[in-house]
Structure 1
Amino acid sequence: MKTTSRTCTCICIISVLALAGSALGAAIAAQSTEERRPLRIAQCRELCYRQALADPTPPVLCRGRPDCFMCHDYCRVLAVAQISLATSMCADREFCRQGCRVACAYHRLRIGYHQEATANTVLKT
């Protein structure tokens, strides 16, 4: 009887520790995702500047060029949008022109289309 009771207790303790470890791992992954978001947005925007602005034009002039500005804007939008919204935005052939396609391609390659994103709204900076 004592062996069965100890085995059951050990299994329960291991299960509780495994669940706690999983929850902690998920929390750490979510935090690092949030911490990496500004870097991914900046890298995406740098790509926009390289593709849409003549060298050595300052990024401030991006607003004056529709493709550059749309790319710049979408770098942020796609980083925080729900996957379904991001997918439909990038699939819209009429609205999603060159700048939009650059941002969509960046996000598709770099973060697998928001597999880790959990935001429910689209936010802009």
Structure 2
Amino acid sequence: MEPTNWMGLAAVLITTIGSVAGMWGGRTRTTVQDVPVDAPSSTPAQVEGAWTVSPEMYKWVIEFAQRESNTRAERLEFLLGLALVHIDRQEGELKAAGLPSVPMDPELVAARDSR
């Protein structure tokens, strides 16, 4: 074989070994802690030398995250409602102009008609 073929093979081998070593090293350093969902007052285990978080503070963080999630869901529902109203209005204008409308997805039709 020519020297360039060996160099290419060596480069592939070195990067593969480096990737495997990096994934294995990252995997062994990462630990997953089970956070109880039903009991927000209990806190996960703290790492030695880290700041400690009181159960009240942990509960506040979880409540804030839930409120933020609910706010996003409400906003998304509102925007989807506006989009459905816009689609319905455009469909009405097309029908009034005598243009054939493109059939909508059955899920969109059901969502529009449920309002």
State the TM-score, normalized to the length of structure 1. Answer: 0.39
Q: Which is higher, the Rg of structure 1 or of structure 2?
A: 2
Q: Which one has the bigger helix percentage?
A: 1
Higher relative contact order (CA 8 A, sep 6+): 1
Q: TM-score, normalised by structure 2?
A: 0.42
